[in-house]
Structure 1
Amino acid sequence: MDTVVVKVTGKIFDDQEALRRFVDVVRELARERRVVVVAGGGRVAREAIEKAKSLGVSSNYWLDEIGIEASRLNALILVASLQPFSYPGVPRTLGEVMHGLAYSRVVVLGGLVPGQSTAAVLLEVAEAVGAREVYDLSATDYVYDKDPRTSPDARPLKVVQASKLAEWLKAGQVPGDYALLDLRALDIAARSRITIKIASYKNPGNLIEMMRGGNPGSTIIPE
């Protein structure tokens, strides 16, 4: 049975209609496929991290742990919403993801370890299950060559090579807080030949379009 691996931005949890449509899409997919969803932390993570900072927490380890737990709370919302298809728990390791897939059509997780983005988790899961393509329902509709929030001349890229995007990241041409993918995620994509497709979370139907070969956002090819 095919396994669909998708990441969804934490921002979707602040958009009730988009979240409801996403749940409907995953339910439909789960009738014929296995689905792994990686949930971002979004506002819950940001607010919790800021609260910790206000109390004097400066260790990135603890701030990352707080963000991970926030993403797991969002994951638990999806677990509950996707019953009876979903595995009744939020995995904390890749081994638990694989265990969950042996028993359920849908497995939902958040972050795994400090210092690792949910984009890297997405690619690690794909590598573990043998998926050759992953889908990222992102807060941004495309990959841009610059930060579109600060650069009016930023160009959307329909297709970009993972190696080229990695070069931009290393050179600081794409700001880290904007970049949809980190170097760890791109390294995994390159070594396991995994294609990454990115589109806006505001239309969860983009997931179906991407699975059918469409490109409503950007495609990152592992070259």
Structure 2
Amino acid sequence: MNTKVLSVGGSIVAPEYPDTEFVSKFVAMVKDFLSKNPEDRLILVVGGGGPARIYQKAFREVTGTGENAGTDAADWIGIMATRLNAQFVKASFGDLCKEAVVTDPTVAKDFTGKILLAAGWKPGFSTDNDAVLLAEKFNADTVVNLSNIEKVYTDDPRKNPDAKPLDEISWADFRKMVGDEWVPGKNCPFDPIASKKAQEMGLKVICAGGKNIENIRAILDNKEYVGTTIK
């Protein structure tokens, strides 16, 4: 059985509220892929997206906590948003996903369905790290990270017009870009804590645009795709 792990950014599933058009297309694509690849199964780890950031912002306004303060309270708010999003996606797959949403990747058991849904675990990192831990547990050699950017850039393209998209980058160079510190709600191509673990494992991560259903299918089919490979 070939297990593939997808870290599905919450900004794709629920940029502000659930994107039913995207989720419908994504579910249809995954069902078709699995029907044509019976030896494959998928682990989907869903992020918090808009709901996480909205509630974290509200928490900081109420408490006067600084935006970059790494508080457990802000992380727990984001984690709860990931669990709501994951439950929504799990329900959308019906009988293909038989087990409950995984909230602790270290105790996840082998699953009988074709799809396993996972959400945030505990403070200190994002769902990207949960995806890496599940890849380790289920012997997957690649994590596909789906977000609202198509490629990793040399710098933030919103701030630097000279930033260039990358087709491939080493873990050493990527980690120089994202640093080593996690801040709740941090928006970067791949979580710094997850990046450190992935480098230690020798894991390959593909960062790609989550809205491009055909491109996601190309990645699953091991065909040519648009994205950035980190290894």
Evaluate the alpha carbon distance shift between residue 95 and residue 189 of structure 1 in structure 2; reply closer, same or farther with a 3 A threshold: closer
Match of 2:115 among 96, 106, 112: 106
Partner of 1:17: 21
**2:170 is equivalent to residue 166 of structure 1:** no
Q: Given that residues 45 and 117 in structure 2 are in contact (C-alpha distance below 8 angstroms), is that contact kept between their aligned partners in structure 1?
A: yes
Question: What are the superposed Cα offsets for residues 171-190 of structure 1, whole Å, 9 maximum, x if unpaired?
Answer: 99xxx944211332222222
CA distance in 2, matches of 1:82, 1:11: 19
1:89 and 2:93 matched? no
- What is the percent sequence identity of the aligned residues? 29
Cα 1:75/1:16, change in 2 over 3 Å: same
Question: Structure 1 residue 102: deviation in Å?
Answer: 2.7
Q: Say which of 195, 199, 212 aligns to 2:204.
A: 195
Q: How many residues align?
A: 216
Unaligned runs of 5+ in 1: none
Question: 2:2 is matched with which residue?
Answer: 2
Amino acid at match of 1:10: G
When the two chains are superposed, the root-mean-square deviation of aligned CA atoms in Å is: 2.1
1:150 aligns with 2:144: no
Report the counterpart of residue 206 of structure 1 in structure 2.
215
Separation of aligned partners in 2, 1:214 and 1:95: 33
Change (3 A) 1:171 1:67: closer
Between 1:55-64 and 1:134-143, the stretch displaced more is 55-64
Matched, 1:51 2:55: no
Q: Is the 8 A contact 2:6 2:45 kept in 1?
A: yes
Structure 1 residues 196-205 or 208-217, which shifts more?
A: 208-217
Tell me what 1:219 maps to. 229
Q: Is the 8 A contact 2:25 2:213 kept in 1?
A: yes
1:28 matched residue in structure 2: 32
| Residue of structure 2 equivalent to 1:138 | 147
Q: List structure 1 segments (4+ residues) > 6 angstroms apart after TM superposition.
A: none
In structure 2, the CA distance between the partners of 1:19 and 1:57, relative to structure 1 (3 Å rule), is farther
Where does the alignment leave 5 or more consecutive residues of structure 2 unmatched? none
Q: Which residue of 1 aligns with 2:84?
A: 73
2:12–2:211 CA contact under 8 A, matched in 1: yes
Q: Secondary structure at the match of 1:82?
A: helix
**Are 2:23 and 2:89, in contact at CA under 8 Å, matched by a contact in 1?**
no
User: What secondary structure, in the 3-state scheme, does the structure 2 residue paired with 1:91 have?
Assistant: coil
Structure 2 CA distance for partners of 1:121 and 1:171, relative to 1, 3 Å? closer
Task: Answer yes or no: is 1:179 the counterpart of 2:183.
Answer: no
Q: Normalising by structure 1, report the TM-score.
A: 0.88
Q: Determine if the alignment matches structure 1 residue 60 to structure 2 residue 71.
A: yes
